Amino acid sequence: MKIGCVNCGAEIGLERDEPFFVCPFCGSSLFLDRAKTFKDFLFLPLLPPAAARSKVEEELARREVPACPVRAVEQVLVPFWGLRGEALQETVPAFSPVPPALMGYRMPSAESVFFTAEAAEGFEPVPCAETSSAAWRGHADVSSCSLYRVPFFRVSLSAGAFSYAVWVDAVSARVFVDQTPPPVSAAISSRYLSLVFALFGVFAVAAAIAPTFGWSLIAVGILAAASVPFVKRFVSGGGA
Amino acid sequence: MTRPRALSCPLCAGAVPPPSSTRRLECPFCGRALYYDGEDFTPTLVIPPRMGEAEHRKACAALLKHPLVPSGLSGSATLLRRQRSYLPFYLLTGKRGGVLAVGKERLVTKMPGIDISAESAGSAGGARTVIRSRSEVQVEEDSRVVVGDFRYAYSAAALEDRDFGDTSLKDVVKEHLGEARPTTLDELAADGEVVDADLPLERIVERGVAAGTGTKGELKVLELEASVVYVPVHTFSFRYGRQTFSVTLEELNGTWLGGQMPFRGDWAHLLSIPLVAMLGLVAGNVLGFAFKIGPREWSAAGLFGNAALMAALLLGLAMALGLQAAWLLLRTPLAVKLTPAGARVERAGEAPKNPFAPANALVKFLLENAMKKRLGQEDAP
C-alpha cells in the first residue's frame, strides 16, 4: 500500500499496518487513519426485505413470545474489521456502541465485492467508529486487516413500555436478538388451564367424598399445600 | 474529529509523536518538555472502574434475588456474556463572562394625601380624590459585569440502543472527577469496548455552554478547555429458560443503570391454588349434598331455595373471577424495568382478550334475570 505524506507530499510505501510512523523523506510523525486507508469490502444482501419480518416472527414464535408490532425496519450496512494473522481469524465490530446481540458476531462465509455506494443500494452505511480500531491496533498477531460491511435488517419492535431491536443478517438470514418480551404463549396458557381444571377436579372429588364439611376442608387444605411445588414446576416448564 | 499529524520540536526540530492523551509532550530527541495547544486535539481521561470480579458477582447476586424477579432466578439464570464499555462524556471547563442586565426591585410606599392634579380637579363637582397609603414595587434597570468559572459534563455519544439516560451518569462523572487520569484509546480498548464520542463538540458547546447564558444580557465563553472523560459500565447478559435479558451496571458507585428482567409470575400460580381449592371445596360440598339428599329430592326449587347453597354458589363465582384474574396476570407480558431510581414492573406488550368473557356474560345474564324475577314477584300485588 502506498500513501502520500501530508507534510512533504512524498509517496511512502507501507510494509506493516502501523498507526504511527515517520516519513522517511521529511521525518514527520504521521498518523494513519485505518478507516480511510484499508480495503473496504461489501457482502451483497441475499435476503429480501419482506423475508426479514417473517424471520423475526419465526424467532419470536420459537421463543414463545407474543407477536409485537413492528415499529420500523431499517436496512443498514454494519462495518466489521476482518483480522487475519498466522493463527488468527477474528471479527471485530468497527462501529460503536455495539449492541449486546452482535457481540461475538462472525462474518458469513459468502463472497464479497469491493464496497461502493451503488453496490450497497438501499442499505445505509453505519459510520465506522474512530475508536474501533484501537481494539486490535498494535496486536502482534495481526498481519492484515480489511473492513467488511455486512447488510442487516434492524427490526425495531414496540412492546408496552419496552422497545426491542432484532438484527437479521441479510446474507446468512441469521437472527440476532438480545432481549425479547417475556414468553407468554398459548402453550403456557393451555398448561395453566389444564392444571387448574385438573386441580379443581381433585379438590372437588376430595370435598365430595369427605363425610363432613370439616373433613373436606382438611382434605382440600392438605392437597392444596402438596400441590404448590408441583404447580410451580408444571407451569414454568422447568424454566421461565 | 481531526488529529494533529506532523509535529516537530521547536528546539531541535526532531519529529515528535502527536499527543495521545494529554497536551504535555516530551521530545524523544532532546527531552524538552512541550505543551501542545492546538485546537485539533482533545485530551482523553478515564475514571478507572472501582469494581472488580468479586464486586460484580456480589452486585449480580443481589440483583437476581430482587423481590420482583422469580424466586429461582439466581440459581437458574446463566451468564451468557459480559462486556465492559467506556462511555464518553465531554468535560467542558472554562470561564464565562459579560454584561448582564439585571433589574433591582424596590418597595415604594406612597404616603396618604389629597390628589390635586388637573384630572382630579376637572372631575364632576370638582371633588378632590383622597389617596390612601399604599405600597408598590418599582423595578429599576441595572447592569452587572459577571465573570465566573464553569464546569459541565455532557454525554458525547448518542446511546440510542441503550435504555438508560445519561442524566444520572453526568452526576457520577462530576462526583468522581478527582479520580480521572490521562489515558489512551489503546489502553481502554484492551479492557473493553470504547464507545465513540460521535456527538460534535461544537454542537455541545453551542447548545450547552453557550445556551446557558441567562435570559438577559450577553455572557460569552472567554476560555474553554474540553476533554473527553470515559466512564466504565458493565453489561451482563443472562439466559433464563427461553428468555434472555441484559442489565447494565455503572462501575463507580455500583448503581444499576438499566435493563430488563423477568417478572415473577409464580405469584399468580400460587394465588390460583387457594382459589381453585376454595372452588373445589364449594363444588365438592354441593355435589356431596346433592348425592346425600338423593335424586328424588333434586329440584331447582329445593337446591336454589337453600340459602347455604346459594351462598356457596356465590362464593364459587367469586373464586372463578379470581381465577380469571390470575389467568390474565399470567397471560399479560410483564417485565421488570431497571432504572437508576430502582426496579419497577412494566407491561411488555398488550393484555390478552379474556377467553372466559362469553361465560361471564352468560352468568351475568342469568343473575340479572333471577334478580328481576325476584323483584317482580315482590312488587306484584
pLDDT at B340 over 90: no
Least confident of B117-121, B153-157, B286-290, B355-359: B117-121
Query: Residues of B with CB below 8 A from A64's CB?
Result: 242
Confidence at residue B377, expressed as pLDDT on a 0 to 100 scale: 64
Separation between Cα atoms, residue B202 and residue B92, nearest integer Å: 11
CA-based nearest distance B27→chain A, Å: 12
Local confidence band at B371 (pLDDT 50, 70, 90 cut-offs): confident
> Which conformational region is residue A26 in: left (phi greater than 0), alpha (psi within -120 to 50 degrees), or beta?
alpha
Closest-CA distance, A199 to chain B, in angstroms, reads 7
Nearest CA in chain B to A199: B276
pLDDT at B244: 86
Confidence of residue B55 (pLDDT cuts 50, 70, 90): very high
**Is pLDDT at B72 greater than 60 in this prediction?**
yes
Q: What percent of chain B has pLDDT over 70?
A: 80
Residues 15 to 54 of A: which have CB under 8 A from any B CB? 20, 22-23, 26-31, 33
For residues A168 and A56, the answer to whether their CB atoms sit within 8 Å is yes
Complex ipTM, two decimals?
0.70
- In this structure, which long-range contacts are made by residues B108-116, counting pairs with CB atoms below 8 Å and at least 24 apart in sequence? B108/B135, B108/B136, B108/B137, B108/B138, B109/B133, B109/B134, B109/B135, B110/B134, B110/B135, B110/B136
For A131, which of B5, B189, B240 is closest by C-beta distance?
Answer: B189
| pLDDT higher than threshold 90 for residue B359 | no
Task: Tell which wins on pLDDT, B65 or A36.
Answer: B65
Greatest alpha-carbon pair distance for chain B in Å reads: 122
| H-assigned helices in chain B | 53-64, 73-76, 118-121, 167-175, 185-189, 201-204, 266-293, 300-304, 307-331, 357-379
Determine contact: B269 vs chain A, CB below 8 A: yes
Please write the tens of the pLDDT for every residue from B143-175.
778 888 888 888 888 776 666 666 678 888 888
Q: Where are the alpha helices (DSSP H) in B77-166?
A: 118-121
Q: What is the pLDDT of residue B206?
A: 76
> What is the reported pLDDT for B163?
65
**Do B157 and B88 contact (CB within 8 A), yes or no?**
yes
Would you state the pLDDT for residue B107?
78
The type of residue at A222 is I
A61 interface with B at CB cutoff 8 Å: no
Say if residue B351's pLDDT is above 80: no
Averaged pLDDT of chain B? 79
| pLDDT at residue B358 is higher than 70 | yes
Place of cell 382478550: B353
Best mutation target, B243, B263, B291, B339, to test chain A (most A CBs within 10 A): B243
The Cα–Cα gap between A199 and A205 comes to 10
pLDDT value for A138? 58
Q: What is the mean pLDDT of residues B361-381?
A: 74
Scored b (16 or more CB within 10 A) or e, B313-336 reads beebeebbebbbebbbbbbbbbbb
Name residues of chain A where pLDDT drops below 50: 238-240
Is the pLDDT at B309 greater than 80? The verdict is no
Instruction: Judge whether B174 is closer than 8 Å to chain A, CB to CB.
Output: no
Q: So what's the pLDDT on residue B199?
A: 84
Distance CA(A13)–CA(A10), nearest Å, equals: 10
| Residues of chain A contacting B163 with CB distance shorter than 8 Å | 162-163
Tell me which of B176-180, B271-275, B314-318, B357-361 is least confident: B314-318
Dihedral (CA of B145, B150, B154, B156) sign: positive
- The more confident residue out of B98 and B2 is B98
| Coil vs helix vs strand at B31 | coil
